[in-house]
Each structure stands twice: as C-alpha cells, then as structure tokens.
A and B are shown apart, each in its own frame.
Chain A
Amino acid sequence: MRRVRAALVAAAMCLAGGGLVFAQAEPPAINPLAGDSAAVQAGMGMFRSRCADCHGMDARGVRGPDLTQVWASGRSDAGLFRTLRRGVPGTEMPSVGPRTSDDEVWKILAYLKTIAAPTITDVVTGNAAHGQQVFRAQCAGCHRVDGTGGRLGPDLSRIGAARARGAIVRRVRGATEDFLEGYEPVIITLTNGQTVRGVRKNGDLFSVQIMDGRERIQGYLTKDVRAVTAGKASAMPVFDVQRLSESDLTDLLAWFATLKGFDPSVQ
C-alpha cells in the first residue's frame, strides 16, 4: 500500500505543479487500485456499510441512483472520485468526509467497477414531451419541477439523476420501501374531533410540525390535541395501470430522465 500511496503523491505533485498546492491536488485520471483483489474485497465492505442504504446492496439504486450504470453513461474514475470526495451539494449525497483516505475512496470505486454494466442497460424509450403533460395532469399537484408544482411531496427537479428507473417505477406503482424523512404521513386529531392530514416535518415528545394537504405549515403541541397518529399509507396515492397506463408511465419516465437539476460535480 505504501507504494500506491507514493505513486499517488507523485502523480498529485506533477499535476499540482511541484506540490505547491498539494491539498488541492487533482486525483489521477484512472483508479490506481482498479482490479486489485484486496482493494475490491475491502471496497465491498465499505460500499455495503456506507453506501448501500441509499444505493442498494446490489448498487442498483433505492433512494440513490443506480451505480452499475455510471461508467456506461460516461462518468470517469476521476469524476466519480470527486463526487465521493465532495458529495453532491444540495442533495442527499454526502461527502465521504475528511477522515476517509483517498485509498479508501479508490477501494469503493474498485469494487463498483467489478459490478458495472459494460453498456447502458436502462435504455430510455417513450415520448418525453407527452411525459411532461402526464406529469402536469397527474403529479404536479404535489410535486414540483423547476419551480412549478406542489410542495407536499419531494421536489423532482433532479429525479433523473437522483433515482434509478426501477426504483421510480416501484414507487409510482405503490411500493413504499420506506417513508422519506420529512414526508412521513401523519394524522392529527384535534380536540373537536376534526382531523388534519399531512406530512411530518419534525417533532419530539411534546410537539409535531407538519405540512397539511393545503400546504399549510403548522406546529401542534401534543397536549393541545387529542391524538397524533403516524399514517400507515404513504401520502402519495398508488398509480396502478387503471390510473396511469404503461405507455403514460414510459413517457413520464422518459421526461424524468431529462431532469438532472443543477449538478456541477457531474462530469
């Protein structure tokens, strides 16, 4: 490992012009640990413990994108290294943090490379323009894209980069692997028996903060209401084939695939 580190340092010094701006050094273009079996093994452990919660044990994407497609879609080793190092600002993707060494980042990428698809397997078909019309009719009441639409559900302006296609299909068709924090369904029963339904933004033993169906944000003290109940079903309705045909869904996904948001770290 020392030799690899030395190589990294040497490469960094060349790129940084004699090491004057050492801390800002560019990563090497190619993963120095690619194909190293020990690195792949350790990288798998690191990936599973640190990344799999969002990207899935198989890296096919749950709350995060499908990572088996990233090289086939044109990302480079160095670009992915930077994404791990810096995270993606304004998204759920954090930086690996300063305590993770460069070697460890390369190990994670060495593992991912072994399960990467050689070519894109998620080929986009469908009519994106029609997909946008479907969105306006069916989704925009609760979801917002580029500043237009509702706010009860998550903003989808970068859904094309943030979620795997399979995960979106499962979600639209009614699967709820888990509620997203800030969007958990909640029902508040007031003392007069009226109920307020909404999504939970925050809360503690003594209070709850919600956005209700009319996008009113409001806090309630639990002592002043009859009950605060966690909803069992997601606030998002199930869009089965009666409600959203296969071809409409395909078109919707085609439009979603164009929504990448603003992501300066993607190269």
Chain B
Amino acid sequence: MRLTLSRLARLALLLPLAAGVTLAAQQASGPGPITNDDLVQGLKADGSNWLTFGGNYANHRFSPLTQITPDNVAKLQPLWTFQTNTLGNFETTTLLRDNVLYVTGPQNVAWAVDARSGRQIWRYRRELPDNLTACCGLVNRGFAALGETLFMTTLDAHLLALDMKTGAVVWDATLEDYKIGYASTLAPLVVKDKVIVGVAGGEYGIRGFIDAYDAKTGKRAWRFHTIPGPGEPGFNSWSGDSWKIGGTGVWVTGAYDPDTNAVFFGTGNPGPDYHGPSREGDNLYSCSLVVLDPDTGKLKWHYQFTPHDVHDYDATEVPILADLPINGQTRKAVLFANRNGFYYTLDRLTGKVIVAKPFVQTTWAKAIDPQGRPMLETGHTPDEKGERTCPDLTGGTNFWPPSYDPRTHLFFVNAREACATFYGYKSEYVPGQRFTGGAQQLVNNRDEKPFGALRAIDPVTGERKWEFLMPTPSRAGILTTASNLLFSGDGDGNLLVLDSRTGALLWRYQLGATLHGTSPITYMLDGRQHVLVPSGTTLTAWALPEGAPAGRP
C-alpha cells in the first residue's frame, strides 16, 4: 500500500507506534545544523558530541560521560588509527558531530573522518606560499563550527569557511599580509553570528589584533588592535614608534561568557621579545587577558600579567571560566595558569586578582602585589652577557589546554620546570624577517634537567592538591570526565590516564609521538563512550570492548 504524506501524518496522530517511525526518519537524516544553543550548551546536554575547541565556551574540557571508569579504563581497546600522510604534527583539538570527526592538521590540511571506521570522508588542502613566516611550525589548533559550516584559520593569515558535508570553501577572508609576518593558527571562536580569530607573528614585528567576521558572509564586523593606536588609552605604554611593530599576537582560542556577554583572550609577547630598551613602557596589551564585547569588539577590561615582558612569556594560554565558592559566596572567576610561572584566579567581572601564586619555580618576580602588579626581582633583564631566569621561554605552561572539574573545583595543568639563560641585544626590524632581539639557552645538564609535572591546583587558594611527575616536560592538553578520569600525555609519547582525585596512574599506552598541544576528546558512538587522541601524525580512537558491562556508578 502506498502511503501519501498526509495519510502518514494522520496515522502519526492516531497511532502511538508511528511516533517511533518519525523518530527513526529523523535519526536517519541526522541531528540537523549546529545551533548557537548547541554551542552554549556545550557538553552539558549529554556529552555525546564535541562541538567547540574547549568542549564548552568556558573551556572546561570536562565530559559528563561515565561509561569509562577508573575500574575499567585498563580494558580500553584501540579501534582504528588514522594517518595524515603529511609532514608535521597535529596540534589540534578535533570536533565530533553526528558520528563524524572534523580535524585540522599541519600545513592547513583538514579532514572529515568517519568516527566508526577511521576512514576519510573528505580532505581539504590549502595551497600555501613557500615563503611563510610562521614562527613555530606549520600547525593548526582546530576547527570551529556553526550551522553546516566549519571555520579554520590559515598559515597565510586567512580565515576560511568550509562546507561540513564536502570540505568545499564557502568563503575566504584575508586577515592580513602573511609576507610581513602575519599568520593564524588558533581554532576560531564562534559567538552568535560571528567568528572571532586572532593573528600570530610576535616574532616578526607585527601589530596584533583580534577580528570578528560574519559567519554567513565572511565580512569583517570589527577589529580590536592588541596594541593601542595614537590617542587611544595605553598608547603611551610604548616608547617611540615601537607600537607599530610590537607583536602581541593572539594565537590561542579564548572563552565566551554568555551571561556577561564577554569574550576572554590571552595575548602574546611584545616584540622584539628579549630586548626591552627597544620598547620602553608596560607595552599594553601584551601578555594580558583582554575582555571584549563580542558584538562590538570594545574592550571591557584587561589585566596585564607581565608588564614589559622580556622573556617571551606570551599569555596565550587557554582561559577557563568557573564559578567558585569563595568565602561562602559564588564568585564568577577566570582561571589562568600563565607561561610566566604564576597561576591566577581573576574576578570575571572586574579583572581584580583573587589568587596569584607560582605553580612552578619562578625567579623573575617575588609575588604579585595587591594591585595585581608583579614585584620584580633584580637581575632579570636579558643582555649580551646573559641572565638566568626560571621559567624558561617555553614557560611554566603554554598553549596546551588545561582542564577544570566543576564538581570538585580542581584545575589541571601540564606544568614545566625549566630555567634558561636569556640573552638580549638590539635587532633591526626588516619586514617579514624574524625580530626577536635575543634568544635563550636552556639550562640542561647532569645536575639540572628540566622536568614535567601534571598538577591539580585548587583555584580558590592556588594550592597544589597533587602532582604526577614526568622525566620529560609534557605539552599535552588535558581531558577530564565525571567518572574521575583524567586523560593526557607525558613528554615521551605515552598516553596517560590518571585518577583526577588523586593523580594515581590508572593506565598508559606508548603512542610513539607526544600529544604536542593536542588534547583528547570523548564522545558517544552507537552507545559506547569513545576517546579520540591526536598525537604526531595519527588519530587513535579507543573504546571498551563491545558487550563490556557499562561502568555507570
């Protein structure tokens, strides 16, 4: 019997059974375009997808999924491995939507990968010019998504919109001229109808900015210069013309707070990196957290972690937004472990420092004073003779994402213990050439070797709750789950699973390459919780064996 649509509709009204039929039809066609509400919900709804860089807008990287537990995690099985077949390594966080992974890789190659099989669905490859100035590897840190569109920044300083179904370019916006040192590597941040991005190039004498583009058209909505221009507040924090080439890139994704309508971005180092006399003053807004209105790009407030930085302490770490119980009240806070060696809890509405405490050995400043300014130690100005400072230029931590467990209010970070001799000397600015005014030599000998430690920090006090020590510093991002698991990596290629309450090692696997700035994600697929790990040039998917008893508590 042939059913017309109207007859089917009538049947659906009459028969309870038909409701199942319509549901099945909906499932076959997928969950539909990604909405702004999906992004605001983040992992809150059911944690089955992973739609933004940080899992949610607050960058918690905390999943509500509980099928994999401390008791059964050692039974995890690899399901498949995906190889990029490119040069260079992953530095990405993958997205998962409707059983498909969306992945950016080195050299602006990107893929849609079937999460069931690890097989490629489409591949995008950008023709890149051969005279790129990207300072630190031809990397990319991930997609953003809205509707049926993916957004990706490029090494030649463009922002692309790609069709999620095909990988075809929908629009291509130019951020700036790559030939004079601009590049872009961060995962974009979608807020409402805009795509927010920043530029790298702090080692090439750029003048940094944060841009917003219309998600539909690619038309620029606003630009916020991270270095103020003439007449703007903060302009006189740069001597002479140094503001024109003062760096201050933005190359790590920020956070978004829908309640206060604010985006939070960490900014990079002033340039030249090590030669302070080339740019006297505080050098606003370098090494800062800048908080902008996402509709207009107007600055709401800023906090400068390292005024007049001379050690390349970019504040390009991932900000985490959290509501903390402090003195019997709930306070809206920003949690920030900084490359300069200090851990900060800031008031999210005002930028006032609530907690500032070193989380690694830190020698350049004694403490942060009540006004939020570092109390400097003497003898930490790099010159031709060299001076020794901890942490080294890579810092106490860096771009690799931390995680936050909102149930226990614990903040997790992959910390580095390392010192260096810093050298500073005058360099001349030549457009498109490296402009660092110095360099560092890592202190690494028989008696003093750098090491790593994955640390759990109480953001209310700044106290360390536990640590997991590693012989080689790690650059791995962190994922935590509601079943008290912490997924990350060490500095020698091991995937680590720790108990997030104690730091005890539960399981490990030697992947053959580190999680260099990558972070595992977790999602549901056909009723099983999966963990996806990018490392080196591979993605590896893990799950418990089929038919294993669910570990729900």
The answer to whether B427 touches A42, judged by C-beta atoms less than 8 angstroms apart, is yes
CA distance in complex: A176, B445 (Å): 11
- Which residue of chain B lies nearest to A42 when distances are taken between CB atoms in the complex? B425
Which B residues lie within 8 Å of A204 (CB)? 471-472, 490, 492-494, 510
Which A residues lie within 8 Å of B446 (CB)? 176, 178-179
CA distance in complex: A46, B423 (Å): 8
- Which residue of chain A lies nearest to B447 when distances are taken between CB atoms in the complex? A178
Q: How large is the interface on A (under 10, 10 to 19, 20 to 34, 35 or more residues)?
A: 20 to 34
A6 adjacent to chain B (CB < 8 Å): no
B438 adjacent to chain A (CB < 8 Å): yes
B103 adjacent to chain A (CB < 8 Å): no
Q: Among the listed stretches A48-56, A67-75, A132-140, A239-247, which one makes contact with chain B, having 4 or more residues with CB under 8 Å of it?
A: A48-56
B434 adjacent to chain A (CB < 8 Å): yes
CA distance in complex: A5, B421 (Å): 30
Which A residues lie within 8 Å of B426 (CB)? 38, 41-42
The answer to whether A45 touches B508, judged by C-beta atoms less than 8 angstroms apart, is no
A52 smallest CB distance to B (angstroms): 7
- Which residue of chain A lies nearest to B472 when distances are taken between CB atoms in the complex? A204
The answer to whether A48 touches B445, judged by C-beta atoms less than 8 angstroms apart, is no
Given contacts A44-B384, A205-B490, contact A49 B472 (CB under 8 A): no
Secondary structure class of chain B's binding surface, majority of residues: loop
Which B residues lie within 8 Å of A101 (CB)? 430, 433-434
A1 adjacent to chain B (CB < 8 Å): yes
Contact with B438, one of A41, A49, A100 (Cβ below 8 angstroms): A49
Which A residues lie within 8 Å of B428 (CB)? 1
Which A residues lie within 8 Å of B510 (CB)? 204, 206
A143 smallest CB distance to B (angstroms): 21
Interface residues in B456-505 (C-beta closer than 8 Å to A): 470-472, 490, 492-494
Which A residues lie within 8 Å of B421 (CB)? 48-49
Interface residues in B420-460 (C-beta closer than 8 Å to A): 421-428, 430, 433-434, 438-441, 445-446
Which B residues lie within 8 Å of A49 (CB)? 386, 421-423, 438-441
CA distance in complex: A44, B508 (Å): 46
B71 smallest CB distance to A (angstroms): 20
- Which residue of chain A lies nearest to B426 when distances are taken between CB atoms in the complex? A42
Given contacts A49-B440, A204-B471, contact A41 B384 (CB under 8 A): yes
A105-117 near B? 1/0 per residue, CB < 8 Å: 0000000000000
A99 adjacent to chain B (CB < 8 Å): yes
Interface residues in A164-212 (C-beta closer than 8 Å to B): 176-179, 203-206
Which A residues lie within 8 Å of B472 (CB)? 204
Contact with B425, one of A41, A52, A205 (Cβ below 8 angstroms): A41
Contact with B445, one of A1, A178, A203 (Cβ below 8 angstroms): A178
State the 7 A-B residue pairs at the shortest beta-carbon distance, nearest first: A204-B492, A45-B425, A49-B439, A49-B423, A45-B384, A45-B423, A42-B425
Task: Please name 10 pairs of A and B residues whose Cβ atoms are closer than 8 Å in the assembled complex, sorted by A.
Answer: A42-B384, A45-B384, A46-B423, A46-B425, A48-B423, A49-B438, A53-B441, A99-B434, A204-B492, A206-B510
